[in-house]
Homo-oligomer: A and B are copies of this chain.
């Protein structure tokens, strides 16, 4: 199977497949003409990769998951551990973004949004010293 067909069937773009080969996530054979030649197994690995990436796993996590995928002696606890730590990372990120969202929502609500220059958003950015900005700035912002 050539790269184009594999790309279409796995949903992973050709460019990305070449990149995955470059970093050793897939190892297709080569035909006599130099074209990559993908066996069914490589197609499955690519579909696996596509799904894992769509779930937000990093490529290094994908590498580990792929090796567990091919390991019939694997323990599901290993898979679960990786997934759990990934989940924790995502939940941390959600909390961070929700905090940002609250702050921004508040600023937007307080801004008139008219043709005058006064703007609570600008004031927040300009006088960051008193809240949320790096501690080292606080002193110099009180002037």
Give chain A's interface residues, CB within 8 Å of chain B.
8-12, 43-44, 47-48, 50-52, 54-56, 65, 68-69, 71-77, 79-81, 83-84, 86-87, 90-91, 93-94, 97-98, 100-101, 103-105, 107-108, 111-119, 121-122, 124-126, 128-129, 132-137, 139-141
Contacts and interface: CB of A to CB of B under 8 A. Distances in A.
Nearest to A131: B51
A47 B128 contact: yes
Contacts of A12: 134
Contacts of A136: 8-11
A112 B12 CA distance: 30
A84 B108 contact: yes
B9 A52 contact: no
A56 B132 CA distance: 13
A104 to B, nearest CB: 4
